[in-house]
Amino acid sequence: MKEFTYTITDPEGIHARPAGELVKAAKAFESAIKLNKEGKSADCKRVFGIMGLAVKQGQTVTVTVEGSDEEAAAQAMENFFKTTL
């Protein structure tokens, strides 16, 4: 299992557009990818789960990746967060 933490810098937090882009990026991998915030967790392959976390600017999230392609998936997710959120 791979994991990393990231503090959201986007002024609008994780809203609909980046949530949709996150789902698209996550679906490219077989691994299970979870977004965790303050004890709550969401599947990164489901947009409503991500939106349900209501992540705002300045909040820190943890992304966990587990599966056969976790190394590549974790790197891709980390790059996505740094460039998009």
Q: Where are the domains of the chain?
A: 2-84
- Known catalytic residue: 70? no
11: three-class secondary structure by DSSP = coil
Assign 3-state DSSP to the chain and report helix, strand, coil percentages, each to 5.
Answer: 40, 25, 35
Letter for the amino acid at 52? G
Choosing among 3.30.1340.10, 1.20.1260.10, 3.30.70.260, 3.40.720.10, the CATH entry for 2-84 is: 3.30.1340.10
Length of the chain in residues, anyone?
85
Q: What is the largest CA-CA distance in the chain?
A: 34
Catalytic residue among 3, 10, 15, 67: 15
| Average confidence score pLDDT of the chain | 96
Output the pLDDT for position 39: 94
Residue 44: pLDDT band (50, 70, 90) is very high
Residue 83: pLDDT band (50, 70, 90) is very high
